[in-house]
Structure 1
Amino acid sequence: LKGAYKTVSDIFYRTTPCRSVTPPVYIKKSSLNYNRRTMDACFSAFDKNSDGYLDLEEFKLLTRALFRNDRGKIYNLEEDKLREIFNVFDCNADGYIDREEFVFCWNHWIKIIVRPIAAFLIVDVQNDFISGTLNISNCSAQQNGLEVVEPINHLLDTVQFDVVFYSLDWHPSNHVSFIDNIGQREIHPSSPVTAENAQTYDTVIFAGPPPMKQRLWPRHCVQDTWGSELHKDLKVVENSIKVYKGTNPDVDSYSVFWDNKKMTDTTLCAQLRMRNATDIYICGLAYDVCVGATAVDALAIGYRTILLDDCSRGVDLLDIEKTKNTVIKNNG
């Protein structure tokens, strides 16, 4: 129910008026015909007086059918929430949802609820973060990165996700985040730490242009090295997709969607759109860095986002808690 309400909030704040929305471009024509028949049948089933419109009471019956568990228990919407959702789809504010408005409601809400397409995104479960140069157990939270492998494998064995992604930090040897490369770039005068005094995990400001904050890490996940490989015990499923990030030497990339300056995206956005994904389950390493940044971006784009707590480990306990609170605050 919370996820469904988030979807409505995203529609209200992020989409164009309903009459400009067209069906997803990646659906086959035969699927569109089936989708239209199913949609029309749904509308007719709840148009109790057959007047060609859904009023608030008829819409309430529809939500009662949507929000129930497999035992038939109904999760009732509060009256103000019900009216708020109804008003989102009543585009002309005449107090009714007509068939044209229902097309928007169907494609952007009902279908997502009843036929979700789930992506599983496993973030950076690589050797260097588990037992290599940036072993997160050496960070302040002292969490063991290897502990994510077993629960992730269990999910891969027991849950039929529609698509599985593995992201990999994939840095060139001259990457900006490596502390041993700090002498390769000019430090901005406003930087709180000088190049001479910088230590691992400090944050400096490089001159750019433009000036750019950068946390300094040990050299890690250099392209085509053992440290950049996925851990040997992590199950890699057939037909999964690998997404490489952090390939630009001059900008870091925590999120699997974009680099930290949002100048360049990865292949993830296009891959998710191509599959009409609605829900993203995210986990891996590190909770408060790349996993968290990816979850926040997924929420901002509008995906229903689930951060899997027991399949993630992080660097700093305070930052882990902040990440968790940020995701929850944004309806993740």
Structure 2
Amino acid sequence: MNYIEKFIKSSFSIDKNVVTDCFLHYDKNRDGFLDAHEFEVFLNDTFSDSGGTNNIQYEMAAAILKQLDEDQDNKLSKSEFYKSWRYWLKYVLNPVTALLVIDVQNDFINGSLALNGYPAGHDGYDVIPVINKMLGEIPFDVVMYSKDWHPPNHISFGENVKLRPLHETSKVSSDDAKVGDTVVFRGPPITEQCLWPTHCVQNSKGAEIHCDLKIVEGSYVVNKGTNPEVDSYSAFWDNNKLSQTELVNLLSKHHVTDVYVCGLAYDVCVGFTALHSVEHGFRTVFIEDACRGVTQEGMEKMSDNLKGNGIVIAQSNEVKNLVEARHRNLQLGLQAAKNMALGREMAQSRPSVI
């Protein structure tokens, strides 16, 4: 059992004496700092699980050190280490987690926009037993469900394409446009829109969450896509970022640090929700086998986009250890360090009060 594990087993503490003992343990040359090598050793002990270490790479260790190192001298002083322990490591070792279940609605499973009718040939129902198993076994701090909740005149519906004038740059005319095409509406604002079958209309059977999906007591439901003039793939923002749902406020209310995303569809609503999650500063995990998608090409493109934005792609059987911090992913550690650095910059930029 390494030094960090001892503290976890004995209940994590930010007591200065405890932190000082830890600092001295890793300050092997006793110069009052953790240099880059000593910090790597610390990371190897911190980001590990029962299967061994993460085999910390120098580039990742350097990236984390850069975020925690206030004076950018490539080492951590006792003061910097204490701040890191308090504002960074506590989130690594004791995260507050939320599961976002995106759009597991009838229309995407057996209705007008059922995934099995699209090129990937996925059955949307397949996510339900995977999500239910996680809900029954994993102690998420909060669970939230999103729903497409469109008015009948929604801009994304192919049958509504003639309700709004198209922009001159649209390659498809309103007379020729069909479901699956992308058109450009005049606006304002000018809006590029993929046309979908009419789906998830407010108060319709198709808009209901599938009856086989477990609904956790005390959970939340967030409606999206309610503005007829703009589509909303993400559960956070509409596609033009004109307005946002209450999701970020609910997550902040519960002091959530880590967001886990799953549902329908991989390459559309789930993926964009994950991207906006990390943009809001949440450490974000995309649960791949609890998602189904529209096209294979779209899923591959989205996967690359997620990874490129620091989002961790995991399988459902890995989630429990991540939620309970028994496995501590280094990419999530880097995101937490970035959040700490951003918070520090914001605090320093505030005008002092005399």
Residue aligned with 2:237, SS = coil
Q: Post-superposition shift, 1:101?
A: 2.5
CA distance in 2 between counterparts of 1:170 and 1:301 reads 23
Q: Secondary structure at the match of 1:47?
A: helix
Unpaired segments of 5 or more residues in structure 1?
1-33
1:49-95 deviation line (CA, Å, top 9, x unaligned): 79894322553443233122136x34442345434433332212345
Q: Distance in 1 between the 2:57 and 2:159 partners?
A: 57
* Residue in structure 2 matched with residue 63 of structure 1 by the alignment: 43
Residue 322 of structure 1: aligned partner: 301
Is it true that 1:93 corresponds to 2:72 in the alignment? yes
Q: Which residue of 1 aligns with 2:262?
A: 283
Match of 2:239 in 1: 260
Aligned-CA RMSD value: 2.3
> Judging changes above 3 Å, is the alpha-carbon distance between structure 1 residues 75 and 319 closer, same or farther for their aligned structure 2 residues?
closer
Aligned counterpart for 1:224 among listed residues 189, 197, 203: 203
What does residue range 1-332 of structure 1 map to in structure 2 within 5 Å? Answer: 37-38=14-15, 41-48=18-25, 53-56=32-35, 58-70=38-50, 73-94=52-73, 96-332=75-311
Deviation at 1:284, TM superposition (A): 0.8
Deviation, structure 1 residue 96: 4.5
TM-score, reference length from structure 1? 0.82
Q: Return the offset for 1:316.
A: 1.4
Q: Separation in 2 of the partners of 1:240 and 1:53?
A: 47
Q: Which residue of 2 aligns with 1:27?
A: none
Instruction: For 1:46, give the aligned amino acid.
Output: F
Aligned length: 298
Report the TM-score, using the length of structure 2 for normalisation: 0.78
Which range is displaced more, 48-57 or 232-241? Answer: 48-57
Query: Is the CA contact (8 Å cut-off) linking 1:46 and 1:61 kept in structure 2?
Result: no
Q: What's the secondary structure of 2:90's corresponding residue?
A: helix
Cα deviation code 1:140-189 (max 9, x no counterpart): 22211111111111111111111111000011111111111112111111
- Equivalent pairs: percent with the same residue? 40
The residue identity in structure 1 corresponding to 2:214 is: K
Q: Runs of 5+ in structure 2 lacking a partner?
A: 1-10, 312-354
In 1: Cα distance, 2:148 partner to 2:96 partner: 26
